[in-house]
Amino acid sequence: MAESVDAVVIGAGPAGLSAAEKLAEEGFHVIVLEKEAKPNYEKLCGGYVPASVFELFSIPEAIADYSVKGVKIVASSGEWTIEFDEVVGYNVDRTKFAEYLARRVEKAGGEVLTNTMALKVEQDDKGVTVVCRDQCFRAKMVVAADGVYSRVGGMIRGGFSAEELGLAIQVKSSLSKSFAKSIGGLNVIFLGREFSPLGYAYAFPKRSHVDVGVGTLVARAREVDMEKYLDRVLSRCGLSRVSKARYAAVPLTGPLLNIVDRRILLAGDSAGHVAPLIGEGIKFALTAGRLAAESIVEYLNNRISLCGVEKFYLCRLKKSFYGRLKLEKIVLKLFKKRKMSSSKFLRDPKMREIIAELYLDKREFQQLFLASLLRIPLVFLK
């Protein structure tokens, strides 16, 4: 017999756990299903989170692995360091970060079940049935936050094309004393096609290692040897691998609207909630999870109808970060078509600062976009 609950959340990443915590805080019975042995286990990503997000979601700095005060930009034409007076963000270990968020869910009264995969999700007029291997849940609402390969997500929004999916190849490297000294308090970003077919690679320090990765599009990765690009980045840093290379897909779609189907809401990677330019999504996942939960709370408290849930959720997403995702998608298209050259921008100190603020999420993207538009004529007149 199915266990009756108010809501089931599929996926124990930042989006799912953010949603579950809010639902539990509001007094609803919520179950989180995670297929791995730990929440968000060994999730592949750089793991940068702006300081503003730590403050907004009341996350203690002790959870972070590394405090970030700036970036080092590396390109074929040179290297530049842009550093700010204060800590602007933190690099986190995704598994440790998710375990912390899971404890918050449990403290609020929710349940997190690991090693539990949702095999089938079926909805009808009265609720949603979520079938697992050894148990079954009957819920009033479901949040699907189980990543880019979400089966539920694919049924609702459709599949991602090779041009809509980013692909990251990443390895762990030991944090050598020389590297740590040379980039103290900095994240390193690599710009240009020397380092990636799409022109972006990274080295993000953590407490005991460095995550080094190369990003591109799935469509372009088929034509090149991504391992060679990765080796080039490692060599430039004077680093060596301590783990095998792993691949992960990242949705770079921009804002999606088809992410609700009656009693099922998508959030996080499954809904395309990732910055198209830089491929980071923790900030958006936490925000989307909370917004999804708030939409469900409104419905469960009879303040909106079931038909109104979609409008309520999308309206808040549009007011929150959908404008940024739309602008980033436009800029990404320009870079893909080679209408813009990062090398020309990097010659200008003000543009380098704008690029640093973009990757550190120090200012609102709309402000940075306007500042860059005002600066572009000066850059190309030099």
Which residues in the chain are classed under CATH 3.30.9.10? 65-91+164-251
Strand order in the sheet with 89-91: 48-50, 89-91, 66-68
pLDDT per residue as tens, the chain (382 positions): 889 999 999 999 999 999 999 999 999 999 999 999 998 877 777 899 999 999 999 999 999 999 999 999 999 889 999 999 999 999 999 999 999 999 999 999 999 999 999 999 999 999 999 999 999 999 999 999 999 999 999 999 999 998 899 999 999 999 888 888 889 899 999 998 899 988 899 999 998 899 999 999 998 888 899 999 999 999 999 999 999 999 999 999 999 999 999 999 999 999 999 999 888 899 999 999 999 999 999 999 999 999 999 999 999 999 999 999 999 998 888 776 665 555 667 888 888 998 899 999 988 888 887 877 766 655 544 5
Neighbour count for residue 244 (Cβ, 10 Å): 7
Which residues in the chain are classed under CATH 3.50.50.60? 3-47+93-160+253-333
CATH 3.50.50.60 fits 3-47+93-160+253-333, yes or no: yes
CA atoms within 13 A on the CB side of 48: 31
Question: Could you report the per-residue pLDDT of 334-348, keeping only the tens digit for each?
Answer: 776 665 555 667 888
Strand order in the sheet with 209-217: 78-83, 70-75, 186-191, 200-205, 209-217, 165-174, 246-251
CA distance 231 to 212: 10
- CA 160-193-372 angle, to 5 degrees, is 80
Torsion from C-alpha of 176, 64, 360, 259, nearest 10 degrees: 130
Tokens of 5: 């609950």
Q: pTM of the predicted model, to two decimals?
A: 0.94
Question: Could you report the per-residue pLDDT of 246-301, keeping only the tens digit for each?
Answer: 999 999 999 999 999 999 999 999 999 999 988 889 999 999 999 999 999 999 99
Q: Which helix (H) or strand (E) holds 377?
A: helix 365-381
Structure confidence at residue 342 (pLDDT): 58
Q: Which CATH superfamily is domain 65-91+164-251 in?
A: D-Amino Acid Oxidase, subunit A, domain 2 (3.30.9.10)
- Answer positive or negative: Cα dihedral of 104, 106, 109, 111: positive
